[in-house]
Amino acid sequence: MSAHAVSAPKLRVRRPGVATVYRWELRKLLAQKRTFLGLGAAVVVPAIFVVALLADSSGNPEEVPFGNLVRESGLAIPLVCLTFGSIWLIPLITALVAGDIVATEDQNGTLKTILTRSVERWHVFAGKALAALSYAVLGLSMFVGTALLLGGLAFGFDPVTLLSGTTVSVGRGLALIGAGTLAYLLPVIGITAIALLLSTVTRNSAAAVVGTLMASIFMQVLGALSALDWLDPYLLTTQFNAWQGLLRDPADWDPVIRAAWVSAGWTVPALLAALTSFVRRDVTGG
């Protein structure tokens, strides 16, 4: 039997890449109500904290760093929120998008729609990973920003006393809050990578979101066991405290440096595993 052959369609000279995927991932996020749930929580939770402090003038959260200073300077509010946020809120906000961004497309069948266009699979993955990370950064920024704004309005934008006992000006305090937030971002990147891995491997959005949150809580439980003290420095969730090193005078960079390499130790393998799975997987959903 013979079949007619023709000249093959010409290969495209230029293909859309990561930037195109990233841009459209952001547009898709903006079009979904779920996206705003996480961002809403990033605003509402610090607001509730400030309102609770105003409502009860007798108590301070003394057990956490800067907890004894919340009524002295509004700048202490975002720092206290960073500690509280690491327990479940920031991992949850991160997982809401990172855990969903691949799995939901697999479940709904849209993954096959975008993987049969002209973009390489790894470009699609990279665009999604960047979008998920951007969302986590935005969520964390809104969380800290809201806490700072409301804290300042409620208790004043006043000089703040660092963990080493030195009192610094408002300007220096704001710079340190910014630096602390950047340090806090290191384990957030790790959580994003874990969520992406679960999203890719489980192909189930709910399982990936809940799984990420459970993994975060499980690590915190491990970190709380004195018998496992040797493990604590290597846990991703422990790195959520690294920012406190910067809120000293002079700054203690050791926990920040540790947070960088420990977070990288979680992030890189998780991302590589997710990428490998995504590039090689059979797409059968939907």
Partner 1 sequence: MSGAGGIPIQARGLVKRYGHVTAVDDVDLTVGAGDVYGYLGPNGAGKTTSLRMLLGLIRPDEGTAKLFGRDPLAEGVRALDGVAGFVEAPRFYPYLTGRRNLELVAALDGDGAAGRIGEALDTVELADRARDRVGGYSHGMRQRLGIAGALLRAPKLLLLDEPTTGLDPGGMRDMRRLIRRLADQGLTVLLSSHLMGEVEELCDRVAIVRTGRVVYEGSLPELLASTAGRYELRTTDDVRAAEVAAERPGVTDVRFSGGGLTLSAGEPVVAELSIALAEAGVGIAALVPRTATLEELFFRMTEGEPPAVNGRVPEGVAR
Residues forming contacts to partner 1 in the complex (CB under 8 A) are 1-12, 14-16, 20-21, 23-24, 27-28, 31-32, 108-110, 112-121, 280, 282-284, 286
DSSP string, 161-197: E-TTS-EE-HHHHHHHHHHHHHHHHHHHHHHHHHHHH
Please calculate the CA angle 69-75-78 and round it to the nearest 5 degrees.
Answer: 95
The answer to whether 165 and 86 are in contact (CB under 8 A) is: no
10: tokens are: 């010409």
For 30, what's the count of Cα atoms within 13 Å in the CB-facing half-sphere? 7
Least distance CB 12 / partner 1 (angstroms): 5
Least distance CB 109 / partner 1 (angstroms): 4
Nearest Cα residue to 199 out of 109, 285, 88, 278: 278
Name which of 225 and 279 has its Cβ closer to partner 1: 279
Name which of 112 and 248 has its Cβ closer to partner 1: 112
CA separation for the pair 231, 150 (Å, rounded): 37
Q: Is 86 helix (H, G, I), strand (E, B) or coil?
A: coil
Least distance CB 34 / partner 1 (angstroms): 10
Name which of 108 and 164 has its Cβ closer to partner 1: 108
175: tokens are: 């710079």
For 269, what's the count of Cα atoms within 13 Å in the CB-facing half-sphere? 5
Least distance CB 278 / partner 1 (angstroms): 13
Name which of 11 and 55 has its Cβ closer to partner 1: 11
Name which of 230 and 280 has its Cβ closer to partner 1: 280
Name which of 28 and 172 has its Cβ closer to partner 1: 28
The answer to whether 42 and 84 are in contact (CB under 8 A) is: no
CA distances for 271 relative to 192, 195, 196, angstroms: 9, 10, 7
14: tokens are: 């230029």
Least distance CB 211 / partner 1 (angstroms): 24
Least distance CB 76 / partner 1 (angstroms): 40
Name which of 113 and 166 has its Cβ closer to partner 1: 113
Name which of 113 and 169 has its Cβ closer to partner 1: 113
DSSP 8-state assignment for residue 165: S
Least distance CB 21 / partner 1 (angstroms): 7
CA separation for the pair 122, 25 (Å, rounded): 14
The answer to whether 191 and 95 are in contact (CB under 8 A) is: yes
Q: For tokens 């964390």, what's the residue?
A: 140
Q: For tokens 């390499």, what's the residue?
A: 261
Least distance CB 88 / partner 1 (angstroms): 27
